[in-house]
A and B are shown apart, each in its own frame.
Chain A
Amino acid sequence: MKTTPRGGPNQVLSTTTYAVVGTRPIRHDGTDKVTGRAIYGEDFRLPGTLYGKVLRSPHAHARIRRIDASRAEALPGVRSVVTHADMPDIEDTISDLGEGSFSAKWAADNIMASEKVLYRGHAVAGVAAVDANTAEEALKLIDVEYEPLTSVMRVADAMASDAPLLHEDLYTDSLGETSEKPSNVASHFQHVKGDVDRGFAEAEVTVEREYTTSTVHQGYIEPQNVTALWSSDGQLTIWTSNQGAFGVREQVSSVLNLPVSRIRVIPQEIGGGFGGKITIYMEPVAALLSKKAGRPVKMLMSRAEVFQGTGPAPGGWMRVKIGAKRDGTITAVQADLRFEAGAYPGSAVGAAAVCMFGPYDVPNGRIDGYDVVVNKPKSEAYRAPGAPQGAFAVEQALDELAQRLEMDPIDIRLKNVAKEGTRRIDGPRFPRIGAYECLIAAKEHEHYQAPVGGPNRGRGVAMGFWMNGGGPSACTISVNEDGMVGLVEGSTDIGGTRTSSAMQAAEILGITAEDVRPSVADTDSIGYTGVTGGSRTTFATGWAAIEAARDLLGQMCARAAKIWNVDPSSVAFRERQFVTSADSSKSFNFGELGRELFSTGGTLTGRSNVSPRGVGAAFCVQIVDLEVDPETGKSQVLRHTVVQDAGKAIHPSYVEGQMQGGAVQGLGWALWEGYEFSEAGAMLNPSLLDYKLPTALDVPMIDTVIVEVANPGHPFGVRGVGEVPIVPPPAAAANAVSRAIGVRMAHLPITPYRVLEATGVIEPEPVT
């Protein structure tokens, strides 16, 4: 195996060497993807399919008085129309989707509005017709009588005592007590550690500031899509691009009141998710349209629908205060977070609270978090949900502290960095983590040693933490006649995970990655597997592959014993050979024994169902250099380095890919992206022209350093890598701009307009 030498744009600070793990094989699904042969949800076709479209509310907040679909139903070519009235009455159950809880009643209401529409874009009805154009024409013929209501678009307005209420039956769960009156504040929680007042009294310097962030979208290039077939025997089959077929099945079952065993979800290749394709949107609509029409129904969102009808990341308001000694030691922290949940409760404010001070040993702290509903699409997960917002505040506050104390920004973090045994502000103590090692690697990096150079340039440093997820995964591995294996797992593959599962199994079995044929199965063909998200897949599905491989080896040892006619307890698999202590002349490698199976009793299948403990947390440090044009306010990113503890990079190229992709999403969040809303609550920029995702011209090469502080909870030391790289960059970019122009930029996005206001080139408008 090639160890990557120090220096160069992509470094791997490897601590262990394996035969397969840590190498860079070509991914198994690669040829299909570079030839256009891979079938994504939008490519999937069934004969006789109808095309479905969704009618969406033009109002941000309105009561639905009446829906009359008769003219639409009469249009030639229309085969079915559905509204919320076609959905079954369901109990309001709260279920555990494994990644946060899920209210069936609110989910059903978001899928098609019942009494009120709560945001512009809220689905109201669905139509299925012989082609997409007819379906669109039919939407115009559905008559909906709305009674418009006053909308609230901002947290401050929603929290006012006289604010119009989105839900008349929503009461605040405040510090464990339920409020007397309904409110737009769904919950208020608090984390307390130590004695905050005493901590601030001990501080010799204090930084306190307010910050705001805008709604941003995950920006996956493939829109939501579904094909549903409700067949006459009552079985529902769904083909969809989603981050977890079992999660889709569970949600559809809840919302349509169908037993899970009557639903089969067949995941297609997925064109990006980042958390936004965990929740269902059109699946129940397509299912009901199919039931009524007796034919399969396919639905594909337009880009404008993706922006306005799915689940972006919440914007919000934060106040952060940090107190420290002159030597940079933090004595106390305090934060007040108010996030926009969107139309229904459940923003990521909880995770923001847990992660924002995560990289640091904070002796005293208090965090108050508020989850507030507003007339925007219901917010959903976006890559380390909540943490980029929290870090945007904390990492800037630390940067200000460093400037006040004339301390190096990495040094002030080293002074306070969390280590094994450090107690988080929400209670648990960290096991072995690599936060310190990431800071050192960043400090020693050639990027950090190089001068910033030039006027109008700034260098920003920021650090991020994400706890990563575990959860259930299943795997089976069967031996083929030629001695190679087929590996079946249930994690939809967004970025190379079928290959990382195959590599981990190959390592255990003593074969190559190419000797494993991995595939992602549907809900009928593999055991329950959690979502591909939460940075859990390489860890948990990897564990499943490892356990299935070990199970297979055990069975193969028993078969070797039969073949050799020796006592089974004398057979072992050692250094890639099956050997027996009863006869040193006998051995098989995996392939040799595999080819013997068929004539000695048939193939063998290793299997596992795991829900592993020992999840390892992830830390990431980023360095961003940029130059601000004083005339235009535009920030040009010059150099960007990402240092991250992966525990063990199973496939370093795809770990680097996560680091680079997350970093650039974070730059987009910082500098270019944000929903703009009109006074009436309409999104003004629901297209990729005006909602500006980063292009190849906007960013430089993203250099990477993979630190490997092994996670003791995984056989190879794996820590999830997918989410943490988006946590530091909004703060790192903000720190860089702030240092370049000498003004603290506390509001996202840091557009050229805002920079020119900050530098006095443009008169500031009143803050809205």
Chain B
Amino acid sequence: MPVVFVPSLMRGLTQGRSKVEVAGQTVGEVIEELDRVYPGVRAKLVDGGRLSPGVSVAIDGEMAPLGLAEAVGESSEIHFLPAIGGG
């Protein structure tokens, strides 16, 4: 099952857990499932059907541009990160 690495700022919602195994085939499905177990997570990550501005997602170490639609593999690592801009 894919593993979500919970950002430290959200660990209050996941009872302190920093890693959670969550079923899902896309980032969107994973967030729904995570929110089912730990309510309040979706509100932090999703805004109006898209990943909140200011939130990026990395899958297996790669920044994933498709957001909620991005496919997730059986043993993928998923990181939600603050969006960081370049110059």
Chain A contact residues, CB within 8 Å of chain B: 94-97, 99-102, 175-177, 189-192, 218, 273-276, 278, 348, 350-351, 354, 380-385, 426-431, 466-472, 533-536, 611-615, 713, 723
Q: Which residue of B lies closest to A188 (CB)?
A: B9
Contacting A430 at CB < 8 Å: which of B12, B61, B79? B61
CA distance A278 to B12 in the complex (A): 36
B87 touches A276 (CB 8 A): yes
Question: Quick one: CB contact mask for B76-87 with A, threshold 8 Å, 1 for yes?
Answer: 010101111111
Task: Provide a sorted-by-A list of 21 A–B residue pairs whose CB atoms are within 8 angstroms.
Answer: A94-B52, A96-B83, A97-B85, A189-B9, A350-B84, A380-B87, A382-B87, A384-B87, A385-B87, A426-B79, A427-B7, A428-B58, A428-B61, A428-B79, A430-B61, A466-B86, A470-B65, A533-B87, A611-B65, A613-B65, A615-B63
Is A427 a contact of B81 with CB atoms below 8 Å?
A: yes
B54 in the interface, Cβ–Cβ < 8 Å?
yes
Shortest CB–CB separation between residue A739 and chain B, in angstroms? 30
Q: How far, in whole Å, are A175 and B13 apart by their CA atoms in the complex?
A: 12
CB <8 Å contact, B54 and A176: no
B65 contact from A189, A431, A471, Cβ within 8 A: A471
Complex: A356 Cα to B17 Cα, angstroms: 26
State whether B62 touches A94 (Cβ < 8 A).
Answer: no
Contact B63 A534 (CB under 8 A): no
B37 adjacent to chain A (CB < 8 Å): no
* B53 contacts the other chain (CB 8 A): yes
Closest B residue to A611 using CB positions:
B65
Once the chains are docked, how many angstroms separate the CA of A385 from the CA of B47?
A: 26
- A597 CB to closest chain B CB (Å) equals 34
Number of interface residues of B (CB under 8 A): 30
A470, B63: Cβ atoms under 8 Å?
A: yes
Residues in B1-21 with C-beta less than 8 Å from chain A? 5, 7-10, 12-13
- From B9, which residue of chain A is reached at the shortest CB distance? A176
Residues in B whose Cβ lies below 8 Å from that of A429: 60-61, 77
Q: Give the one of A102, A177, A278, A351 with max B CB within 10 A.
A: A351
Q: Which of B38-56 contact A (CB under 8 A)?
A: 44, 47, 50, 52-54
Query: In the bound complex, how far is the Cα of B34 from the Cα of A389, in angstroms?
Result: 36
How distant is the Cα of A274 from the Cα of B86 in the complex, in angstroms? 9
Known contacts A176-B10, A427-B5, A427-B79; decide if A613 and B85 are in contact (CB<8 Å). Answer: no
**A723 (CB) vs chain B CBs: closest residue:** B86
- Contacting A at CB under 8 A, from B54-75, are 54, 58, 60-66
Contact B53 A94 (CB under 8 A): yes
With contacts A470-B65, A471-B65, A613-B63 known, is A533 near B9, CB below 8 A?
Answer: no
- Chain A residues with Cβ under 8 A from B85's Cβ? 97, 99-100, 278, 348, 351, 381, 385, 534
Flag if B62 contacts A190 (CB, 8 Å). no
Given known pairs A176-B9, A385-B86, the reply for A94 and B54 (CB within 8 Å) is: yes
Complex interface: chain A residues within 8 A of B7 (CB) = 427
A615 touches B87 (CB 8 A): no
Residues of chain B within 8 A of A381, CB atoms compared: 85-87
Bound state CA distance, A94 and B79, in angstroms? 22
- Which of B53, B60, B87 lies in contact with A96, CB distance below 8 A? B53
Residues of A within 8 A of B47 (CB): 94
A100 near B84: Cβ-Cβ < 8 Å: yes
Q: Are B87 and A426 in contact (CB under 8 A)?
A: no
CB distance from B23 to the nearest CB of A (A): 20
Distance in angstroms between the alpha carbons of A273 and B61 in the assembled complex: 29
Query: With a CB–CB cut-off of 8 A, which chain B residues contact A431?
Result: 61-62
B62 touches A713 (CB 8 A): yes
Task: Determine if B86 and A536 form an interchain contact, defined as CB atoms under 8 angstroms apart.
Answer: yes
**Within the complex, what minimum Cβ distance (angstroms) separates B68 from chain A?**
13
Assuming A94-B52, A94-B54, what are 19 further A-B pairs, CB within 8 angstroms? A95-B53, A96-B53, A177-B12, A189-B9, A190-B8, A274-B87, A275-B86, A351-B84, A381-B85, A381-B86, A385-B85, A385-B87, A427-B81, A428-B79, A431-B61, A466-B86, A471-B65, A534-B87, A613-B63
Q: A95-B53, A613-B63 are in contact. Are A100 and B77 (CB under 8 A)?
A: no
The answer on a CB contact under 8 Å between A101 and B10 is: no
> In the complex, what distance in Å separates the CA atom of A520 from the CA atom of B48?
33
In angstroms, how far is the closest chain B Cβ from the Cβ of A666?
14
Complexed CA–CA distance, A192 and B60 (Å): 19
- 8 tightest A-B contacts by CB? A275-B87, A534-B86, A381-B87, A100-B85, A99-B85, A101-B53, A96-B53, A101-B54
The answer for the CA separation of A713 and B7 in the assembled complex, in Å, is 26
B86 lies within 8 A of A384 (CB): yes
B86 touches A613 (CB 8 A): no
Interface pair A428/B77, CB less than 8 Å apart: yes
Within the assembled complex, what's the spacing in Å between the Cα atoms of A96 and B67?
12
**Residue picked from A94, A176, A189, A429, most chain B C-beta under 10 Å:** A176
Complex: how many Å from CA A475 to CA B11? Answer: 42
CA A274 to CA B62, docked complex, whole Å = 25
**B64/A613 in contact, CB under 8 A:** yes
Give Cα distance in the complex from A300 to B63, angstroms.
Answer: 38
| Other-chain residue from B12, B77, B79, B86 in contact with A535 (beta carbon distance below 8 A) | B86
Alpha-carbon gap, A430 to B63, bound state (A):
11
Chain B residues with CB below 8 A from A95, complex form: 53
Smallest CB gap from A354: residue in B:
B84
Taking CB atoms, residues of chain A closer than 8 Å to B50 are 96
Partner among B9, B65, B83, B87 whose Cβ is within 8 Å of the Cβ of A190 = B9
CA distance A712 to B77 in the complex (A): 19
The answer for the CA separation of A695 and B79 in the assembled complex, in Å, is 44
What residues of A have a CB within 8 angstroms of the CB of B53 in the complex?
94-96, 101-102
Residue in B8, B65, B87 whose CB lies within 8 Å of A192: B8
What is the minimal beta-carbon distance from B61 to any residue of chain A, in angstroms?
5
Q: For the complex, what is the distance from the CA of A431 to the CA of B58, rounded to whole Å?
A: 12
Specify the chain A residue showing the minimal Cβ separation from B10. Answer: A176
Question: Complex: how many Å from CA A480 to CA B34?
Answer: 54
- Once bound together, how far apart are the Cα atoms of A177 and B62, in whole Å? 28
Complex CA gap A428/B76 in Å reads 11
Q: Chain A nearest CB: distance from B50 CB in Å?
A: 8
Residue of A nearest to B8 (CB): A192
CA distance A99 to B63 in the complex (A): 12
Q: Which residue of B lies closest to A614 (CB)?
A: B62
CA distance A618 to B13 in the complex (A): 34
Q: Complex: how many Å from CA A723 to CA B8?
A: 28
Q: What's the nearest-Cβ distance from chain B to residue A167, in Å?
A: 18
Least CB distance, B51 to chain A, in whole angstroms: 8
Contact B62–A613 (Cβ < 8 Å): yes
Q: How far is the CA of A472 from the CA of B50 in the complex (A)?
A: 17
Residues of B with C-beta under 8 A to A427: 5, 7, 58, 79, 81
